[in-house]
Amino acid sequence: MLTALEQYDPQIYELVRQEGARQSACVRLIPSENYVSRAVMQASGSCLTNKYSEGYPGKRYYEGQQVTDLIEVVAQQRARKVFKAEHANVQPYSGSVANLAAYLALAQPGDTIMGLALPHGGHLTHGWKVSVTGKIFKSMQYGVSPSTGRFDYDQIRDLAKKNRPTIIISGCTAYPREIDFDIFGQIAKEVGAYHVSDIAHISGLVVAGIHKSPVPYADIVSTTTHKTLRGPRGGMLLCKAEYAEKVDKSVFPGLQGGPHMHTVTAIAVALAEADTPEFGEYARQIVKNSKAMAEKLLECGFNLVSGGTDNHLILIDLRNKNIPGKKFAKALDRARIVANYNTVPNDPAPPANPSGLRLGTPAITTRGMKEDQARQIASLIASVADNIDKESAIEQVAKEALLLCSQFPVPDHFIIPNKENRIIS
Ligand code: DSN
């Protein structure tokens, strides 16, 4: 593939090579990113990219589905098995469209939905005002407790009783603690709402049994497939059998045309990988690494939202360090440590330059790093904070980060040699 790419389009080949080198030579801490296996990469780059398959297995609008039907059925079966769900739809292009499809399966435009506010760790598509979900639905937003940084379930219940939403959404993109999906389910029942749970971030932990599953407590569960689950960029919906038809119609023809069958194929492979003891080990190590990194960051004087972590991510509140989130994220990037600036609950700073930094351990765990390396990375992060305006010190951290990366190589398909056969640019 790459030889053909190199011959036909050397410019793009070179850029792909550079991105592979960057992913190899950086400590990647964005909690929604990972490294897929060679098998997932091959399935994603296979001939399935050539096929149109509007519809569902056995009910397509195009012919030539002898193989695609088999692949999609396998993906559905594997999804149902690993998540213990009655029904699975593996066609959503990604998490945003999966969430919208879930809402439109259960509610009408104009109905009230209630999700976690973006600055408190919710996703845009949980009803934030600039998202279509905040425009076509009446959106009520709940937050985390200002004192604990955690959910105050009594407050959420009170808000739900007052506003009687059609849908309550559980799930987050920047919440470092375990979520009590059963309480969300109870609250939804008490107010006659549907419960939609978005587990995009934690679905790998859910499959491995490290985080409680929302499947028994939610009407529909939405997830992406590329974060802790470590599959291709895609989305998925799981639900009880009674909602299967509504969910399927909402995805196609409601929101999408032909599914991306190369992605469905790669999702099937990722789900097989997730159904192994090795995946359970990886998921457990993600949380061990996250806890070790959080403890070291606390030792180094960082304030963490909620005081620590139960999952794969950490949210640093930088206000005591007096460093704006964007400046810190950019300095870390120069130090070969890649994270993202993020709002913290009740952030006085604007979202474009907020007071927080979000970190996660899935990608470093896939590289084989353990607690010692997680603590070492926390120390490197502290060095950058202590020397935020001293470029020579940041360069020194970059050298240490590069050395660490060289000791934990990424999956081999990332290593695309350039003409001099150098791996790291
Ligand atoms: N929610 C984004 C993230 O967590 O990085 C992806 O949409």
Beta carbon of 123 within 6 Å of any ligand 1 atom: yes
Q: What is the pLDDT of residues 362-384, one digit of tens each?
A: 999 999 999 999 999 999 999 99
Beta carbon of 312 within 6 Å of any ligand 1 atom: no
pLDDT for 422: 40
Beta carbon of 173 within 6 Å of any ligand 1 atom: yes
Beta carbon of 32 within 6 Å of any ligand 1 atom: yes
For residue 104, CA distances in Å to 14, 140, 158, 246 come to 42, 17, 25, 9
Q: What is the pLDDT of residues 34-71, one digit of tens each?
A: 999 999 999 999 999 999 999 999 999 999 999 999 99
- Cβ(302)–Cβ(321) under 8 Å? yes
pLDDT for 3: 83
Q: Which CATH number fits domain 45-274: 3.40.190.10, 3.40.640.10, 3.90.420.10, 3.40.462.20?
A: 3.40.640.10
Domain-wise residue ranges, the chain = 12-35+285-407, 45-274
Ligand 1 atom showing the smallest separation from residue 33 Cα: 5
- Which is the CATH superfamily of the domain at 12-35+285-407? Aspartate Aminotransferase, domain 1 (3.90.1150.10)
Using the mean position of ligand 1's atoms as its centre, give its distance from the Cα of residue 421 in Å. 34
In the predicted structure, residue 425 carries a pLDDT above the cut 70: no
Distance CA 321, CA 388 (A): 10
Distance CA 417, CA 312 (A): 32
What's the mean per-residue pLDDT of the chain? 95
pLDDT for 175: 97
Exposure string for 41-66, b = 16+ CB within 10 A, e = fewer: bebbeeebeebbbbbbbeebeeeebe
Angle of CA points 228, 230, 236, to nearest 5° = 85
The pTM of the full predicted model, rounded to 2 decimals, is: 0.95
- Return the residue whose CA atom lies nearest to atom 4 of ligand 1: 173
Distance CA 107, CA 170 (A): 16
pLDDT for 1: 52
Beta carbon of 126 within 6 Å of any ligand 1 atom: no
- Signed CA dihedral, 269, 270, 275, 279: sign only: positive
Phi, psi angle pair for 80, to nearest 5°: -60, -40
Using the mean position of ligand 1's atoms as its centre, give its distance from the Cα of residue 33 in Å. 9
Using the mean position of ligand 1's atoms as its centre, give its distance from the Cα of residue 30 in Å. 9
Ligand 1 atom showing the smallest separation from residue 123 Cα: 1
pLDDT for 411: 73
Task: Determine how β-strand 167-170 pairs with β-strand 87-89.
Answer: unpaired
Smallest CA-to-CA distance from 342 within 182, 118, 166 is with 118
Phi, psi angle pair for 269, to nearest 5°: -65, -45
Using the mean position of ligand 1's atoms as its centre, give its distance from the Cα of residue 392 in Å. 32
| Model confidence band, residue 197 (pLDDT cutoffs 50, 70, 90) | very high
Q: Which residues are known catalytic residues?
A: 52, 54, 198, 224, 227, 233
In the predicted structure, residue 424 carries a pLDDT above the cut 70: no
As beta bridge partners, residue 68 has none
Using the mean position of ligand 1's atoms as its centre, give its distance from the Cα of residue 200 in Å. 8
The pLDDT of 69-78, averaged and rounded, is 98
Ligand 1 atom showing the smallest separation from residue 201 Cα: 4
In the predicted structure, residue 418 carries a pLDDT above the cut 90: no
